[in-house]
Structure formats: C-alpha cells, structure tokens
Amino acid sequence: MTILSEGARHYVLILLPRLLKDVERIGLPEIIRTSGFSEQEVTTLYFRFVSIARVLPADPERITTEIWEHLVYCVQVMTGMVNAASLDDLIAARERAVRKYLPHARKSLEEEFEELRHEGTVDFRLAGLLRQEESPEHSRDLCMEAIRREREERFESVRTLDTRALDAHQAFIVESAKAFVIREMAAAPDDFDILDLVIRLLDLLRMVLILEARSKPGESPVSADVSVERIVLGLGNVLYKHELGLEAVS
C-alpha cells in the first residue's frame, strides 16, 4: 500500500467514527437493504469497525502501515454502505440547496448588475444570465455565477481563518485546505468547482467558529448539519477522497 499523506491520515481518524454514527443513524436494516451485503456480513463488519475505532490511538504516527491499510478498507466499505443508503436523500438535498440558494443568487447578481449599470459599465454575460428564462440548468448557472463572484470576496477572510479552536486532526485538515485555496487561486485553474467548494466550506467554518465563540456555555448556535465536525469532514472529503479510493464508492 502507498503511504498515506499526513492529511489523509488525519482525515481517516475523524471519518471512521463519523461513519459509525451515520450507520447508527440510518440503521442496520436499511444498510442491509441497500448495501448488497448479507445481514451477517453487515453485522460482522459493523462490530469489527466499532472494535477498531475504540482502540485507535489519536496520534497517526503510532499507527502502523498494516493498520492504515485496514483502516482505508474500513472507510471504503463503510462509505459505500452509507452512500448507498443515503443516495436518494443526497439527490433531494442537492436540489433543495439549489432552490434555496437561487433567490439569494439572483438578488446578488441583480444588485451587482444595477451597480455596474449606474457606473456606466455593462457586463453582458451577467445581463444575459439575468434575462434568461427559468429552467433547472439556468438556475444552476445563476447560482454558479453568484458563487464565482463571491469567491473573491471570501478569499481574504478564508486566508485568515483561525484554527486554534479545532482539535489536531481538524486543524491539520483545515490548514491543508487553506494552503490548497491559496495555491489554486494563484494558479487560476480552468475548473473552479472544487476551489469554490473549498472556499465556501472554509468560509462557513469561519462563521460557525465565530458563532460558537460568542455563544453561551452549553448553547448550540448552529444545527448539526453545519457543525464544525461536518464541515471539516467535507473539506477532508474534497482533499483526500481520491487518495483514499473513496471516489469509486461515492
């Protein structure tokens, strides 16, 4: 097995317990129904993964290459199980996200267009987007254009994101994501999709950390869907899924 990068190792150590929680949330019966594994196989794998997670050291350096190989297998299998059980939910969630973001995207672009028009400048691409008839494809184009224009605004705040409130695994992944953003912005890639996603996740993390710092003890200022843990896991997925062989099971 190829030696994993340090970031991928940190990601595996926070991904495995999250996957176990997802399996528990979905329920073994649903996992069995959708995974293609037998009841005995799913049950055996689940309890094996639970046992492994309980004895894992927090320090990646204390884990041998052989154990890393087994851990990667664990997260590959469990990711496949969870994704198979969650596929319909993910598709529906993606469409809901587009619909929810669309009014904000249109308003943001319209305001920018009006501002440019008053300054005597016409952005023909932006004007064309705003005049097109509604369609699913056009809705996505509007959202992506708004995201593209927000990229520059978010970039500076992302660079200064403070990771001191995170644990060691989370901080390493976030610092790696920041380095990725700085590198990709300098390179100006042809495809900004991944870069935009990482920037938005980092910016969301920045906002959540601010809210948590301002909240009272015991108070949860954000929902579980946008928790620090989930945001960092999202960043890790973007950065390391190819290295860990998770793309084939996504």
pLDDT, tens digit, 9 for 90 and up, residues 167-192: 999 999 999 999 999 998 888 777 77
The answer as to whether 24 is a domain residue is yes
Average pLDDT of the segment spanning 157-175 = 92
Q: What kind and span of H or E run contains 60?
A: none
Q: How many domains does one find in the chain?
A: 1
The answer as to whether 96 is a domain residue is yes
Lowest mean pLDDT among 1-10, 184-193, 230-239: 184-193
Give the tokens for residue 159.
């660079």
Residue 14 CB-density burial (10 A; 0-12 exposed, 13-18 middle, 19+ buried): middle
H helix intervals, the chain: 6-26, 28-35, 39-55, 65-118, 124-131, 136-159, 168-187, 193-214, 228-240
The per-residue pLDDT for range 30-86, each reduced to its tens digit, is 888 888 888 998 898 889 899 988 888 999 999 998 889 989 998 998 888 887 776
The answer as to whether 241 is a domain residue is yes
For 77, the domain range is 6-249
The answer as to whether 1 is a domain residue is no
Is the pLDDT score of 113 beyond 50? no
